[in-house]
Amino acid sequence: MKISIIGTGYVGLVNAACFAKLGHQVICVDVDKEKVDKINQSISPIYEKDLEEIILKYKKNIYATTSYKEAIEKSDITFICVGTPSKKNGDIDLSFVDQATKEIAIYLKNKKSFHSIVVKSTVVPGTTQNHVLPLLEEITQKKAGVDFGVGMNPEFLREGAAVYDFLHPDRIVNGYYDDHTKKLLSILYSDFSCPIVETSLTAAEMIKYASNCFLATKISFINEIGNLCKRLGIDTYEVAEGIGLDDRIGRAFLDSGIGWGGSCFGKDVNALIAFAKEIKEPCNIIQSIVQVNEQQPLRLISVLKKHIPSLKGKTIGVLGLSFKPNTDDIRDSRSIILVKNLLKEGAQVKVYDPKAINNFKKLFSDIIYCDNAKDVLDADAVIIATAWDEFKKLDYKGKIVIDGRRLLEAKKTAKIYEGVCW
Ligand code: UDX
């Protein structure tokens, strides 16, 4: 199939590369000429495991341009994969989606053959049906479902495993407005053996939000149970095993610790809360998972203060700044809350991360950045905030170690070892 993809960020590029791998002809569109040039030289503008190898191997099937005209004319289906960042009040910012939709519409207007526009960006329920579709109709002066098609096809890609997740999905969700788009999407994904959910545009959008909110809920839930377990002297991970064996619950996303971060969970959870507020529906559970997630890193500081009651003037080491291992991404990282609060307590903070130091430096200039994990160990106590593999192998040299990520190996060489929920 001939596919065009608008936006070559993390979602757009992973989709482009993987569709190319599946044998489709893909045109990527981006306003950033530098990114476009890189893709045409088979260089990935972002790091994501296996992505550049695929772009290189299937270079015959991928082409990038800044021209919407070329992309719409030379493809049968267009995926909108632009960012939907959060506004200050939690609402999603649709300006990139609007911009892409308007540009697409200009060329869709003159296109003779049937063309489908599919939203892949994460947008709140109703956006494709009530916002994107009317905008396309208004500019093209054409009728959706008759002259062009509309779909909504959310992604469920984890950072660091996005290529794998695209190629091995648990399910594919195809929201459609018209039968032509339904058919195009089902042909496009016909190589996959997973279940395919065919549904309305708005249900597809809600599936994406409900998935991320549910996963975040699982983590906040197990963290709350973990806090109770710690008080009772129970191992919360045994409890997670015990409940996870129930097929209705499942073991995944029941690792208690200092909570969730990243580019999606916080943004999506807050967008759904803001949306629910707008339509005047209570969102009590989802609101409370945010509260639990904000409090959880502070519990780690309380555990630390059992061993060092006043942090004033003490040096505290923080191992791990990224929101999860194997990425330099610090968006919504629990380490941000940790460091902020350690500073508030008057501690001097020393940090190390294998990849995320440069990003963290943009947020904190008044802490000490170390070149390796060992240099953090001359602190009065060490906090483990991200589960990087190298922290498992580290000799903790008889230090006080407070662990937010369950790296039990640290116990062997620490003088005192205590976890946030264990
Ligand atoms: C997530 C979703 O998994 C993905 O489907 C969606 O499309 C984007 O958001 P990602 O942000 O890459 O992906 O991270 P993920 O691996 O899901 O982890 C999110 C956060 O939850 C991390 O901070 C991680 O440390 C934390 N986490 C995860 C836990 O604290 N406990 C767990 O059991 C699992």
Q: Tokens representing 152?
A: 């909504």
117 and 13 in a common domain:
yes
Average pLDDT for the chain: 97
Q: What is the 3-state secondary structure (H, E, C) of the chain?
A: CEEEEECCCHHHHHHHHHHHHCCCEEEEECCCHHHHHHHHCCCCCCCCCCHHHHHHHCHHHEEEECCHHHHHHCCCEEEECCCCCECCCCCECCHHHHHHHHHHHHHHCCCCCCCEEEECCCCCCCHHHHHHHHHHHHHHCCCECCCEEEEECCCCCCCCCHHHHHHCCCCEEEEECCHHHHHHHHHHCCCCCCCEEEECHHHHHHHHHHHHHHHHHHHHHHHHHHHHHHHHCCCHHHHHHHHHCCCCCCCCCCCCCCCCCCCCHHHHHHHHHHHHHHCCCCCHHHHHHHHHHHHHHHHHHHHHHHHCCCCCCCEEEEECCCCCCCCCCCCCCHHHHHHHHHHHCCCEEEEECCCCHHHHHCCCCCCEECCCHHHHHHCCEEEECCCCCHHHHCCCCCCEEEECCCCHHHHHCCCEEEECCC
Q: Tokens representing 205?
A: 């959008």
Closest protein CA for atom 11 of ligand 1: 262
Structural domain ending residue among the three candidates 176, 199, 222: 199
Model confidence at 88, in pLDDT bands (50, 70, 90)? confident
Provide the CATH number for the domain around residue 86: 3.40.50.720
Structural domain ending residue among the three candidates 152, 178, 199: 199
Q: Which of 166, 212, 209, 208 is nearest to 189 (CA)?
A: 166
Find the mean pLDDT for residues 185-197.
97
Amino acid, res. 201: L
Q: Mention every residue, 6+ apart, whose C-beta is less than 8 A from residue 73.
A: 107, 111
Q: What digits encode the pLDDT tens for the residues 323-346?
A: 999 999 999 999 999 999 999 999
Residue 241 placed within a domain? no
148 and 25 in a common domain:
yes
Q: What digits encode the pLDDT tens for the residues 127-162?
A: 999 999 999 999 999 999 999 999 999 999 999 999
Give the pLDDT of residue 396: 98
Residue 11 placed within a domain? yes
Q: What digits encode the pLDDT tens for the residues 261-276?
A: 999 999 999 999 999 9
Q: Mention every residue, 6+ apart, whose C-beta is less than 8 A from residue 96.
A: 7, 82, 83, 84, 121
Give the pLDDT of residue 251: 98
| Tokens 């959706």 found at | 144
Q: Tokens representing 368?
A: 């000490």
Q: Is the pLDDT of residue 78 over 90?
A: yes
- Gap between the Cα atoms of 304 and 199, Å rounded: 49
Give the pLDDT of residue 268: 95
293 and 194 in a common domain:
no
Q: What digits encode the pLDDT tens for the residues 345-387?
A: 999 999 999 999 999 999 999 999 999 999 999 999 999 999 9
192 and 294 in a common domain:
no
Residue 250 placed within a domain? no
Q: Which has the higher per-residue pLDDT, 91 or 381?
A: 381
323 and 187 in a common domain:
no
- Known active-site residue 264: yes
Instruction: Establish whether residue 226 lines the binding site of ligand 1, counting it when its CB lies within 6 angstroms of any ligand atom.
Output: no
Domain count, the chain: 2
Q: Mention every residue, 6+ apart, whose C-beta is less than 8 A from residue 236.
A: 222, 225, 226, 229, 230, 256, 421, 422
Give the pLDDT of residue 291: 98
184 and 298 in a common domain:
no
179 and 308 in a common domain:
no
195 and 296 in a common domain:
no
Residue 346 placed within a domain? yes
Ligand 1 atom closest to the CA of 216, numbered from 1: 21
- Gap between the Cα atoms of 85 and 95, Å rounded: 9
Query: Which entry of 18, 264, 370, 421 is annotated as an active-site residue?
Result: 264
Q: What digits encode the pLDDT tens for the residues 110-128?
A: 999 999 999 999 999 999 9
Cβ contact 12:84 at 8 Å: no
Residue 262 placed within a domain? no
Give the pLDDT of residue 178: 98
Residue 238 placed within a domain? no
Structural domain ending residue among the three candidates 199, 218, 237: 199
Q: Is the pLDDT of residue 4 over 90?
A: yes
Find the mean pLDDT for residues 306-315.
98
Find the mean pLDDT for residues 284-294.
97
Cβ contact 284:103 at 8 Å: no
Q: Which of 254, 248, 219 is nearest to 235 (CA)?
A: 254
CA 281 to chain centre: 26
**Can you give the C-alpha Rg of the chain in angstroms?**
24
Give the pLDDT of residue 91: 87
Q: What is the CA(76)–ligand 1 centre distance, in A?
A: 34
Ligand 1 atom closest to the CA of 334, numbered from 1: 23
Residue 283 placed within a domain? no
Give the pLDDT of residue 378: 95
Give the pLDDT of residue 89: 86
Find the mean pLDDT for residues 10-17.
97
Residue 56 placed within a domain? yes
Model confidence at 28, in pLDDT bands (50, 70, 90)? very high
Q: Which of 265, 327, 328, 333 to mutate to test the pocket of ligand 1 (most atoms within 8 A of CB)?
A: 265
The model carries a pTM of: 0.96
Model confidence at 280, in pLDDT bands (50, 70, 90)? very high
Model confidence at 242, in pLDDT bands (50, 70, 90)? very high
Q: Is the pLDDT of residue 255 over 90?
A: yes
Range of the domain at 102: 2-199
Instruction: Establish whether residue 262 lines the binding site of ligand 1, counting it when its CB lies within 6 angstroms of any ligand atom.
Output: yes
- Gap between the Cα atoms of 130 and 375, Å rounded: 55
Report CA dihedral (323, 301, 396, 368) to the nearest 10 degrees: 70
Find the mean pLDDT for residues 209-226.
98
299 and 190 in a common domain:
no
Find the mean pLDDT for residues 311-315.
98
Give the pLDDT of residue 131: 97
Closest protein CA for atom 28 of ligand 1: 253
Per-residue burial over 147-174, b if 16 or more Cβ lie within 10 Å, else e, is bbbbbbbbbbbebbebbebbeebeebbb
